[in-house]
Structure 1
Amino acid sequence: MVKRRHSDVEKIADFDIDQLHSLTQELEDQAYSSETWKTYNHSWKQFKAWCKKVDASPLPAELKTIQAFLSWLVKEEYSWPTIERTVCAISKFHDLEEETAQTRHIKVKKQLDGIRRSLKTKSKSKKNLTIIDLASICQAAPDKPIWWRNRAILTMGFAGALRRSEVANLKVQDVVFMNDGAILNLWDAKGARKGEVQRVGIPMGQNAMICPIQNLRKWLAFTKATEGPLFLPMKPPLGQEIWKNEPIYKETVSQVVKRGVELIGIDSAIYGGHSLRRGLATAASQANVPLARLKQHTRHKSVQSLLPYIEDSELFADNPANLIGF
């Protein structure tokens, strides 16, 4: 007996409107990763606090309020990415309340163009950490728990080209050890949809000193953790004990890099958490790793967004001065 298929008309009549509204909300929530929502909430709270101080309404916010706030961000020397993210957050929270967002006003767009142009000349990218730097840091690091953790952060962050937030948000259960190394399951990473996982391979290192797998295993042997945050805050001032069973802040990753380069006598001012990700990209480019494979590993959306990470190294590849024996 042939099963009769529902006609399109019958399908239209067979649904629950409340369930559809619920599904709509779920799909909207998945438009952004949890990390994106976290940064949006942080920016929105800052904007509300600023508005309270100047006795202005944050929602709906007047055009002059938004423009004054943007000028304040510039005066306080916030970076362009932070300012851009803040504008997105203000727009998003206005949209959620179905209010008109003055962030889209032509005057705001002109102001943002001016801010971008002025900050572009001032901005300095974080310097990449080299493999030699990384090995020197691991060798110079004291043999105590806080540096067992720090060595794992540095080598894992470098090998995986990880962002600060990705390092900070890692959980023990996100690491799957294999014969050749480990696979990291990154949940809600930048550019991913809510609930989406990105997989990153971390190979065994050829140099035991900077091997991310050996350094991670040594840290886990100390914590004895089988679940929960992978990297934990250490109790000051000696860093011999775990302070809290909570994840570290992403700013901690930057502090670890800075303390590391200071150990080997390098000025830490131009180094930060991004030095790990930039370092891997630069080293891979110098080793002639194909851009497509490098992009897959760093998880950049496009080759164009990856190029700024490796352009400096390209200045010395097939350099005309070298080729003529200068």
Structure 2
Amino acid sequence: MAQIIDQNRENHAQASSAPPDSTAVLQDVSAPAVSADASPRLPAHLQDLTDRARGYVEAASSTNTRRAYAADWKHFAAWCRRSNLSPLPPDPQTVGLYITACASGTAERGAKPNTVSTIERRLSALSWNYAQRRGEKLDRKDRAIATVMAGIRNTHAAPPRQKEAILPEDLIAMLETLDRGTLRGMRDRAMLLIGFAGGLRRSEIVGLDLGRDQTEDSSGWIEILDKGLLVTLRGKTGWREVEVGRGSSDATCPVVAIETWIKFAKLAKGPLFRRVTGKGKDVGPDRLNDKEVARLVKSAALAAGVRGDLSEGERALKFSGHSLRAGLASSAEVDERYVQKQLGHASAEMTRKYQRRRDRFRVNLTKASGL
């Protein structure tokens, strides 16, 4: 591996000493993925198709993903500029040196070493940007990348740190910390309950609309029925439906909480969960940011004393929006395939990763084999 790095340095030392023009690269981050050439302007009907294609490319990935990939490209381009290297065309040796810098904490001044998952995301971001914005391919199997990345995983990889699951008794205690008589309290109760009962991601919670085709940035919509709530969601693999049944008590029923919020917030169309303004007396038109879900889970868990055996700092790190999904997976005592469907997982193995409390040794192969 050291020979590869040394060879990389020798190759780049022979390059021109003139700084590469990274300005164009940075500007290209926000440029459309499908762009017109410098050739004569396309006919009007083809230009329209180009615009439509640009929209479809944008729709192929979520806004958060595109934002993260843009930030990663900017980080890479800035490192290249400081290192007197060019980010274009895709060069495995340059990328190999870059991920080495990320792993060692030298990619930028005063930075800490990146985690393995962060470096893997940065690699995905570079591949995406090269392919979508330049029509070029980064060969991640090249030894200058693959060998270095394997060494980084072996040296720095650590078991994943799972967020604490919010269990039913925890959720009930958290609901009690919210004021039922205020708009903010009604909204927050509805978000916690539908997030838990639906096993929804935080982006899915705030992305809901009151009906179909009401906003462009929607992740789905709700339909209130006699027996429960039908949530239609756009996920990574297409559309899926999530059924949220009515609870055994109005105080903990997600459907009642949603109905109450809609009624008192006087909502008729558009985003389901919005900002509460005017000292808590008005509801604005803007959709909540998904980070608000994480803040709500953390603050309510702390207020309810969940995991009171830990310090406040430790408890704050234990909870996130994901705690609601993990709570449903860990608490629903039904056939695993139903939980898998609710969470939208492609495999049962992924669902099991969300189950914080389950009988891991219900099937004992040691005894079954005769030992």
TM-score (structure 2 length as normaliser): 0.68
Q: Give the Å deviation of 1:101.
A: 1.3
Q: Give the aligned partner of residue 63 of structure 2.
A: 38
Counterpart AA for 1:134: L
Whole-Å Cα distance in 2 between the matches of residues 101 and 114 of structure 1? 19
Q: Give the aligned partner of residue 249 of structure 1.
A: 289
Q: Give the aligned partner of residue 139 of structure 1.
A: 176
Whole-Å Cα distance in 2 between the matches of residues 78 and 250 of structure 1? 24
User: Equivalent residue of 2:242, what SS?
Assistant: strand
User: What is the identity percentage for the equivalent residue pairs of Structure 1 and Structure 2?
Assistant: 23
- Asked if residue 260 in structure 1 is aligned to residue 260 in structure 2, the reply is no
Q: Give the Å deviation of 1:59.
A: 4.2
The structure with the greater share of residues assigned to helix is 1
Q: Give the aligned partner of residue 263 of structure 2.
A: 221
User: Equivalent residue of 1:183, what SS?
Assistant: strand
Counterpart AA for 2:205: V
Q: Give the Å deviation of 1:276.
A: 0.5
Aligned partners of 1:160 and 1:200 also within 8 Å:
yes
Counterpart AA for 2:353: P
Quickly say closer, same or farther: Cα 1:156–1:68, change in 2 above 3 A: farther
Whole-Å Cα distance in 1 between the matches of residues 118 and 290 of structure 2? 15
Which ranges in structure 2 are unaligned for 5 or more consecutive residues?
1-44, 106-111, 212-220, 307-314, 365-371
**How many residues end up aligned between the 2 structures?**
288
Whole-Å Cα distance in 2 between the matches of residues 79 and 283 of structure 1? 31
User: Equivalent residue of 1:314, what SS?
Assistant: coil
Counterpart AA for 2:227: D
Deviations 1:105-128 (A, max 9, x none): 333233433444556425311111
Quickly say closer, same or farther: Cα 1:141–1:130, change in 2 above 3 A: same
Deviations 1:101-156 (A, max 9, x none): 15443332334334445564253111110000011111221232222111111100
Whole-Å Cα distance in 2 between the matches of residues 260 and 68 of structure 1? 44
Q: Give the aligned partner of residue 63 of structure 1.
A: 92
Q: Give the Å deviation of 1:316.
A: 7.8
Counterpart AA for 2:342: H
User: Equivalent residue of 1:296, what SS?
Assistant: helix
Q: Give the Å deviation of 1:234.
A: 3.1
- Asked if residue 190 in structure 1 is aligned to residue 236 in structure 2, the reply is yes
Out of 304, 315, 318, which is 1:270 matched to? 318
Quickly say closer, same or farther: Cα 1:226–1:117, change in 2 above 3 A: farther
Q: Give the aligned partner of residue 108 of structure 1.
A: 145
Q: Give the aligned partner of residue 126 of structure 1.
A: 163
Quickly say closer, same or farther: Cα 1:280–1:147, change in 2 above 3 A: same
Whole-Å Cα distance in 2 between the matches of residues 184 and 248 of structure 1? 18
Whole-Å Cα distance in 2 between the matches of residues 155 and 261 of structure 1? 14
Whole-Å Cα distance in 2 between the matches of residues 159 and 235 of structure 1? 27
Where do 1:292-311 residues align within 5 Å? 292-310=337-355
Quickly say closer, same or farther: Cα 1:250–1:82, change in 2 above 3 A: farther
- Asked if residue 209 in structure 1 is aligned to residue 251 in structure 2, the reply is yes
Whole-Å Cα distance in 1 between the matches of residues 323 and 113 of structure 2? 21
Deviations 1:287-313 (A, max 9, x none): 2x1122221121101112112112642
Deviations 1:217-256 (A, max 9, x none): 11111221221111112349x54443x4222222211111
Whole-Å Cα distance in 2 between the matches of residues 71 and 229 of structure 1? 43
Q: Give the Å deviation of 1:171.
A: 0.9
Aligned partners of 2:326 and 2:356 also within 8 Å:
no
User: Equivalent residue of 1:140, what SS?
Assistant: coil
Quickly say closer, same or farther: Cα 1:70–1:155, change in 2 above 3 A: farther
Whole-Å Cα distance in 1 between the matches of residues 138 and 130 of structure 2? 6
TM-score (structure 1 length as normaliser): 0.76
Q: Give the Å deviation of 1:89.
A: 2.8
Out of 128, 144, 157, which is 1:92 matched to? 128
Deviations 1:173-198 (A, max 9, x none): 111110001101113x2332xxxx21
Structure with greater contact order relative to length (CA < 8 Å, sep ≥ 6): 1
Q: Give the aligned partner of residue 177 of structure 1.
A: 224
Q: Give the Å deviation of 1:92.
A: 2.0
Instruction: Supply the RMSD in Å over aligned alpha carbons.
Output: 3.2
Quickly say closer, same or farther: Cα 1:239–1:120, change in 2 above 3 A: farther
Whole-Å Cα distance in 2 between the matches of residues 185 and 208 of structure 1? 23
- Asked if residue 155 in structure 1 is aligned to residue 188 in structure 2, the reply is no
Q: Give the Å deviation of 1:163.
A: 1.0
Whole-Å Cα distance in 2 between the matches of residues 261 and 316 of structure 1? 30
Higher mean C-alpha displacement, 109-118 vs 210-219: 109-118
Q: Give the aligned partner of residue 335 of structure 2.
A: 290
Q: Give the Å deviation of 1:58.
A: 4.2
Aligned partners of 1:234 and 1:240 also within 8 Å:
yes
